[in-house]
Amino acid sequence: MAGPGSDKREAILNTALTLFVERGFYGTPTSLISKEAGVATGTLFFYFNTKEELIDTLYLRVKAEAALAMCRGLDDEPNTASRLRQLWKNAVEWGIKNPEKMQFMEQFAHSPFVSTIAQQEGMNRFAFMEDLVRTGVNEGILRNIDRQLLFCMMASALGSVITCVAAAKRTDERQKFMEQGMEILWNGLAADSGAKQQGRKMKQTKTKEVIV
């Protein structure tokens, strides 16, 4: 059972998330985090020795949560293409439910304020995506392009689709944006026309409602 200490640590992390997103790293002094979290500055430093340690901890926490959500149900899918679609659906749904955390990941993805060790550990949480893409390339359904470029393209497309889906008023609009976003991404990454046709066929036979 969580005690008072863990409650204070949670309050610090949750407050830091909001302030880092709103004000950036330099604009968020530890004194402000402490004040907004309702704890003494000494309490903050009891849990985190420096502001850099705090942001590293927060970065790894958000990365771990996102990775866990994105890999949900992948093992239940029958093939690589359907796993990629499930991954996309999971990522969109998580981004919609957690806009502040999504913005934090985008804002600090390549930030010098997050240590190299934390960035590497954060990327390791998404090793399953690297494995999935490698399998897709080996199966001939994905283009064999630079992995960094591929993941940047996916992240950019994901952010745009999440924005559109979150702003949509109707369920059918949300579903349409998610499906069309996946189709555009798939057409850009698919190795050949056969793989693209497979993606279109899957879209027609397996449509799931977006949960928001």
Helices vs. strands in the chain: H and E counts, helices first: 11, 0
| Rounded CA separation 39/8 (Å) | 7
CA atoms of 70 and 89, how far apart (whole Å)? 8
- Domains assigned to the chain: 4-49 (1.10.10.60), 58-205 (1.10.357.10)
**Signed CA dihedral, 28, 31, 36, 42: sign only:** positive
Q: What is the pLDDT of residues 39-96, one digit of tens each?
A: 999 999 999 999 999 999 999 999 999 999 999 999 999 999 999 999 999 999 999 9
Q: How is the chain split among helix, strand and coil, in percent rounded to 5?
A: 75, 0, 25
Q: What is d(CA 160, CA 177) in angstroms, rounded to the nearest whole number? A: 10
- For residue range 9-51, list pLDDT tens digits in order: 999 999 999 999 999 999 999 999 999 999 999 999 999 999 9
Cα(first)–Cα(last) distance of the chain, in Å?
Answer: 30
At 127-147, the pLDDT tens digits run 999 999 999 999 999 999 888
Residue 58 is classified by DSSP as: H
* 107 sits in which H/E element: helix 99-107
pLDDT > 70? residue 194: no
What residues have CB less than 8 Å from 151, skipping those under 6 apart? 129
Residue type (1 letter), 161: V
CA distance 63 to 124: 10
Using the CB atoms, write b or e for 136-150: b if 16+ within 10 Å: bbeeebbeeeeeeeb
Q: What is the mean pLDDT of residues 120-124?
A: 92
Nearest to 12 by CA among 44, 42, 40: 44
What b/e string do you get for 13-27 counting C-beta neighbours within 10 Å, with b at 16 or more?
Answer: bebbbebbbeeebee
Q: Which two tokens stand for residue 27?
A: 């604009």
